[in-house]
Amino acid sequence: MFAESGWTALNCEPEWGGQGLPKLVAAPVSEMWKSANHAFSLCPMLTSSAIEALVLSGSDELKQTYLEKMVSGEWTGTMNITEPGAGSDLAAICSRAVPQADGNFRIFGQKIFITYGEHDMADNIIHLALARTPTAPEGVKGISLFLVPKFMVDADGRPGERNDVRCVSIEHKLGIHASPTGVMAFGDKGGAIGFLVGEENRGLEYMFIMMNAARFGVGMEGVSACERAYQRARDYAKDRIQGTDIGVRNGAKVPIIAHPDVRRMLMSMKAQAEASRALAYVVAGAQDKAHHHPEADVRKQNQAFVDLMTPVVKGWSTEIGIEVASTGIQVHGGMGFIEETGAAQHLRDARISSIYEGTTGIQANDLIGRKIARDGGEALKTVIGMMRALDAELATQGNEHLVAIRRRLAAGVNALGKAGEWIVATHASDVHATSAGAVPFLMLFGIVAGGWQMARAALIAQSRIDAGNSDPFYQVKVVTARFFADHLLTRADGLADSVTEGAAGVMALAEDQF
Amino acid sequence: MFAESGWTALNCEPEWGGQGLPKLVAAPVSEMWKSANHAFSLCPMLTSSAIEALVLSGSDELKQTYLEKMVSGEWTGTMNITEPGAGSDLAAICSRAVPQADGNFRIFGQKIFITYGEHDMADNIIHLALARTPTAPEGVKGISLFLVPKFMVDADGRPGERNDVRCVSIEHKLGIHASPTGVMAFGDKGGAIGFLVGEENRGLEYMFIMMNAARFGVGMEGVSACERAYQRARDYAKDRIQGTDIGVRNGAKVPIIAHPDVRRMLMSMKAQAEASRALAYVVAGAQDKAHHHPEADVRKQNQAFVDLMTPVVKGWSTEIGIEVASTGIQVHGGMGFIEETGAAQHLRDARISSIYEGTTGIQANDLIGRKIARDGGEALKTVIGMMRALDAELATQGNEHLVAIRRRLAAGVNALGKAGEWIVATHASDVHATSAGAVPFLMLFGIVAGGWQMARAALIAQSRIDAGNSDPFYQVKVVTARFFADHLLTRADGLADSVTEGAAGVMALAEDQF
């Protein structure tokens, strides 16, 4: 039904049956899938990654044989990357690809944590797997990408004989229970037939091309976790009658949303959902411009923005997704701890997003190393310049909320600038120190970037209010931005201090002193 | 076995077979039970609360009949407080107690979330239940406390006939799966026989007397969650080989504890475990002095300290227990999300502690209202005075870690003082504003109080080092305090701003704007 309605083809290339819609449309749609069912949403997300790999690097024959069915959703796709000894460290991958007389390969090895590695929801599963050929150099430069179908495709394009790749176990996980996470055995019965995707030894390069999209997609899981946790908690808080208004004895019983602390929790959920969403959509729009804008300069600028912000969207949104889902449980009180209520599932589901597709630590090191130190902080300075340009606009506003928002944002931007300069100045000479501050820096960046987007939204909303528009949406937006400023942006200075002065406490102990 | 070894009797009155050990001994022992098995530890904890209620308020006959078996662990106890419509709002309790000709009562009603409400681990279960007599006034002043045994006790003191209280359902919870949480039906078959504990309509008062101990006990769950999550993550980080030392290409593979971000996570777990433990033990020591010190003045001072700090120990420690358990999952990467690893269970278990025995919001409102505003901030000022006295001692130290610790602690104490003064000045005139900042204030208090204890420990440790003691324990303590200062105390200023200036964003929206 989902596939028949064409949802899987939303942002795929029209050449293979896709609708070719912009990322700025696809991202909000995918957010809704993720909010509705995180576990299910992984199947189209992983399939989409596999499609992208084939479109980018597959031979015409592979494209002809597989793409149309994958775009249509008849077949699903997987990414077989992780091995027991190779998680964050892809250099340690040791699955083998043995060349055959017919030009194809036999694949041997074990892959773990394979999302939708096995199921019977589709007629075929198209595994993309990383493995080494016998002549491959060591490390990350000796990894190739292979297509390994669950069922071999016959001359008529139909699934035929079973290939020698099997799911040997399904993991018992904390969350996303509806997503089968498989341990996959390749080649237990003579070797799984695999087809080389692109050129030998360039597998990791192909993975990196897809990685921005995949990381952005997981970042959207953070946004969706915030939203679904917020909606459930808000509904409960409006329904649940408990106590009287604070300060009133023997008054009428009120719904708990009347209690200031419940309201604070709901506002923190709402504000973080909206801030992370705004930031993600801005990055989605930049992706479209980076790919399709007619001017090369604009494409380049947007790509630099996307490269810089992707680890922030991935790392920050998924971390706050966990925090917000946990707050959602708290709003429910004791009922939040009961599984039937549903609030606990949001935390269980959200907890994976800061781990897979590169942990927050991996994102943060990518951010400070490849995205900031490497260009001497240029891309970061450009973004800080955009934030300061907004400050000039905010300076014209007299509304008390906007005055407060401007003050907090300015302090946050200064903190981000200071911490960024320290990273640029320190990374080459003391990578342990900058790496020790990498996650606090990523969180600082996320908060300030989220506050920037909330301030932008508040400015526009206030201009509508000033023009006489009485839609309450605008007033709510201004208040939500105000909350974000006073409760989230206030964390910025402390985080900046942890970045620039926190390494001593992190690195001083010997390993055996832990 | 647990009961036979005498553990259940550790801090019970010797008159009933207990060992009468100080809280300062009982608290660390209970921490170990909680770390070993949070779910199981609830059974002795709840039994201990029931024992305390009987010792405080029970008639001689009730004491003679029940206490010895409960102290020995042969029988267990429960607290039947919550009802479907009465969670945080105890005024809404509507279970009924109907007086009988024999002077006892028949109890009717439904209680939910009853920890160890039903099991076959002990020969009898002694339920303490809150209910209303027919003549009771409305609200919290009309609640009485009853003892309702699962099996009626015969003339020889042995469990006999089944009483009319039954577990009708066991909840499916996020965590503490080994703890049976029951929905209890009283009086479905004519009325459960109940014995009044103490005087009619004074049930809530008795509950409040026990509440400090129970809240302290749940606070210790936060400490134990930090510790067990830390131990597991540390062991994994030393074992798991992944990647090379950062900045080194093609070097030897290292355990992940070598990576700065993993180390940062472990230090944050270790530092918060030690800070919350130190604070809790200091409060445990004050409890002993409050009860047993020969001088009335000292008893009074210590009781004031215990009253002030109990909501901080309960609220802050349980909140950081959740954060630290979640960090423990992150240290494990993908393995952390697999249930067999065990890290996920720590988060699932820890998640209840900030909810039961009064949510963090309830603790925070107790803190700012009863414990701070009511005495015009006197008790708080006394504690801040103790913190500033430590600052004078720290001022004599030249070691770079202690210099940094002093600077951060001084900033934190100032932030706490500022926020506290604002609460005292504002609570009477705008309780919605102070209540909106109550949880940020509680977290601020916890961080500063934890930092205070870490600084105390660091000062002592440094004096040992200066005296030539080479036990690495002391150096580790100084470094851990340094980490706490740069990564936790740095949050203080931002939290104080959220307290004093954050209410506008919390309270501005109408309920239908959520």
Q: Are B99 and B105 in contact (CB under 8 A)?
A: yes
Q: Among all chains, which residue has been given the structure tokens 């550790």?
A: B10
For B216-231, b/e burial (b = at least 16 CB within 10 A) is bbbbbbbbbbbbbbbb
Tell me if B505 and A267 make a contact (CB, 8 A cut-off). Answer: yes
Tell me if B334 and A355 make a contact (CB, 8 A cut-off). Answer: yes
When mean pLDDT is compared across A237-251, A310-324, B179-193, B417-431, the lowest value belongs to A237-251
Nearest to A243 among B89, B438, B487 (CB): B89
Q: Distance, in angstroms, between B358 CA and closest chain A CA? A: 9
Nearest to A505 among B267, B347, B475 (CB): B267
Cα pseudo-dihedral B410, B415, B421, B424, rounded to 10: -120
User: Which amino acid is residue B492, in one-letter code?
Assistant: A
Q: Distance, in angstroms, between B81 CA and closest chain A CA? A: 13
Tens-digit pLDDT profile for residues B288-304: 999 999 999 999 999 99
CB contacts < 8 A (A, B): 281
**Helix, strand, or coil (residue A115):** strand
Q: Which residue of B has its CA nearest to A175?
A: B337
B4 is catalytic: no
Residue A384 has pLDDT above 80, yes or no: yes
Q: Which residue of A has its CA nearest to B350?
A: A337
Tens-digit pLDDT profile for residues A324-372: 999 999 999 999 999 999 999 999 999 999 999 999 999 999 999 999 9
Tell me if A344 and B113 make a contact (CB, 8 A cut-off). Answer: no
Beta bridge partners of B124: B75
Tell me if B326 and A483 make a contact (CB, 8 A cut-off). Answer: no
Tell me if A502 and B487 make a contact (CB, 8 A cut-off). Answer: yes
Residues in chain A: 514
Question: How many Å apart are CA A144 and CA A99, to the nearest integer?
Answer: 12
Beta bridge partners of B75: B124
Q: Distance, in angstroms, between B353 CA and closest chain A CA? A: 10
pLDDT at B251: 87
Residues in chain B: 514
Q: Distance, in angstroms, between B294 CA and closest chain A CA? A: 39
Tell me if A501 and B486 make a contact (CB, 8 A cut-off). Answer: yes
Tell me if A351 and B329 make a contact (CB, 8 A cut-off). Answer: yes
For B484-494, b/e burial (b = at least 16 CB within 10 A) is bbbbbbbbbbb
Tell me if B514 and A440 make a contact (CB, 8 A cut-off). Answer: no
Tens-digit pLDDT profile for residues B390-417: 999 999 999 999 999 999 999 999 999 9
Identified catalytic residue from B171, B357, B421, B511: B357
Which residues of B fall within a CB distance of 8 Å from A508? 479, 482
Nearest to B506 among A364, A483, A509 (CB): A483
Tell me if A511 and B257 make a contact (CB, 8 A cut-off). Answer: yes
pLDDT at A255: 97
Q: Which residue of A has its CA nearest to B250?
A: A139
Tell me if B508 and A482 make a contact (CB, 8 A cut-off). Answer: yes
Q: Are B148 and B79 in contact (CB under 8 A)?
A: no
Q: Residue B365: what are its φ and ψ, rounded to 5°?
A: -70, -35
Tens-digit pLDDT profile for residues A126-154: 999 999 999 999 999 999 999 999 999 99
Nearest to A354 among B88, B330, B440 (CB): B330
Task: Say which residues have a Cβ less than 8 Å from residue A492's Cβ, sequence separation at least 6.
Answer: A411, A412, A415, A416, A444, A447, A448, A451, B494
Q: Distance, in angstroms, between A250 CA and closest chain B CA? A: 8
Which of B427, B422, B460, B459 has its CA nearest to residue B444? B422
pLDDT at B495: 98
pLDDT at B88: 87
Residue A200 has pLDDT above 90, yes or no: yes
Which residues of B fall within a CB distance of 8 Å from A246? 365, 431-432, 435
Tens-digit pLDDT profile for residues B159-173: 999 999 999 999 999
Cα pseudo-dihedral B51, B57, B62, B68, rounded to 10: 30
Residue A1 has pLDDT above 80, yes or no: no
Mean pLDDT of chain B: 96
Tell me if A339 and B266 make a contact (CB, 8 A cut-off). Answer: no
pLDDT at A400: 96
Residue A212 has pLDDT above 90, yes or no: no
pLDDT at B148: 98
Nearest to A514 among B243, B266, B359 (CB): B266
Nearest to B261 among A261, A364, A485 (CB): A364
Average pLDDT over residues B132-137: 97
pLDDT at A32: 97
Q: Please, what is the end-to-end C-alpha distance for chain B in angstroms? A: 53
For chain B, what percent of residues have pLDDT higher than 90?
Answer: 93
Q: Which of B253, B406, B462, B498 to substitute to test the interface with A, most A CBs within 10 Å?
A: B498
pLDDT at B448: 98
Alpha helix segments (H runs only) across A240-295: 260-292
Q: H or E element: which one contains A447?
A: helix A438-466
Nearest to A260 among B264, B359, B506 (CB): B506
Tens-digit pLDDT profile for residues B40-76: 999 999 999 999 999 999 999 999 999 999 999 999 9
Tens-digit pLDDT profile for residues B255-288: 999 999 999 999 999 999 999 999 999 999 999 9
Which of A279, A438, A290 has its CA nearest to residue A366? A438
Average pLDDT over residues A372-379: 97
> Would strands A253-255 and A159-162 be described as parallel, antiparallel, or unpaired?
unpaired
pLDDT at B241: 96
Average pLDDT over residues A308-313: 98
Q: Are A356 and A367 in contact (CB under 8 A)?
A: no
Average pLDDT over residues A249-255: 89
Q: How confident is the model at residue A88 (pLDDT cuts 50, 70, 90)?
A: confident
Tell me if B351 and A344 make a contact (CB, 8 A cut-off). Answer: yes
Average pLDDT over residues A248-277: 95
Q: Distance, in angstroms, between A497 CA and closest chain B CA? A: 7
Residue A444 has pLDDT above 90, yes or no: yes
Residue A422 has pLDDT above 80, yes or no: yes
Question: How many Å apart are CA A415 and CA A418, to the nearest integer?
Answer: 5
Q: In Å, what is the CA distance from A195 to each residue of A148, A157, B178, B440?
A: 7, 16, 49, 57
Q: In Å, what is the CA distance from A189 to each residue of A106, A186, B205, B350?
A: 11, 8, 72, 45
Tell me if A487 and B505 make a contact (CB, 8 A cut-off). Answer: yes
User: Residue B75 CA to chain centroid, in angstroms?
Assistant: 24
Average pLDDT over residues A272-301: 97
Tens-digit pLDDT profile for residues B71-106: 999 999 999 999 999 988 999 999 999 999 999 999
**Contacts of B331-336 spanning 24+ positions with Cβ under 8 A:** B331/B233, B331/B236, B331/B237, B331/B256, B331/B262, B331/B265, B331/B266, B331/B269, B332/B233, B332/B236, B333/A87, B333/A88, B333/A355, B333/A359, B334/A82, B334/A87, B334/A112, B334/A113, B334/A355, B334/A356, B335/B236, B335/B240, B336/A355
Between B14 and A113, name the one with better pLDDT: A113
Tell me if B88 and A242 make a contact (CB, 8 A cut-off). Answer: yes
Q: Give the DSSP letter of residue A86.
A: B
Positive or negative: CA dihedral B145, B146, B150, B155: positive
pLDDT at B210: 79
Q: Are B11 and B26 in contact (CB under 8 A)?
A: yes
Q: Distance, in angstroms, between A245 CA and closest chain B CA? A: 9
Nearest to A476 among B355, B356, B509 (CB): B509
Which residues of A fall within a CB distance of 8 Å from B339? 172-174
Q: Which residue of A has its CA nearest to B339?
A: A173
Tell me if B348 and A501 make a contact (CB, 8 A cut-off). Answer: no
Tens-digit pLDDT profile for residues B213-256: 899 999 999 999 999 999 999 999 999 999 999 988 788 999 99
Q: How confident is the model at residue A9 (pLDDT cuts 50, 70, 90)?
A: confident
Q: Which residue of A has its CA nearest to B478?
A: A505
Which residues of A fall within a CB distance of 8 Å from B462? none
Which residues of A fall within a CB distance of 8 Å from B324? none
Which residues of A fall within a CB distance of 8 Å from B234? 514
Average pLDDT over residues B477-482: 98
Question: How many Å apart are CA B167 and CA B169, to the nearest integer?
Answer: 6
Nearest to A486 among B266, B355, B498 (CB): B498
Tell me if A435 and B174 make a contact (CB, 8 A cut-off). Answer: no
Q: Which residue of B has its CA nearest to A490?
A: B494
Tell me if B507 and A260 make a contact (CB, 8 A cut-off). Answer: yes
Which residues of B fall within a CB distance of 8 Å from A498? 486-487, 490
Which residues of A fall within a CB distance of 8 Å from B229? none
Task: Say which residues have a Cβ less than 8 Å from residue A194's Cβ, sequence separation at least 6.
Answer: A97, A104, A105, A106, A107, A129, A131, A146, A147, A148
Q: Which residue of A has its CA nearest to B270?
A: A514
Q: Distance, in angstroms, between A104 CA and closest chain B CA? A: 30
Residue A112 has pLDDT above 90, yes or no: yes
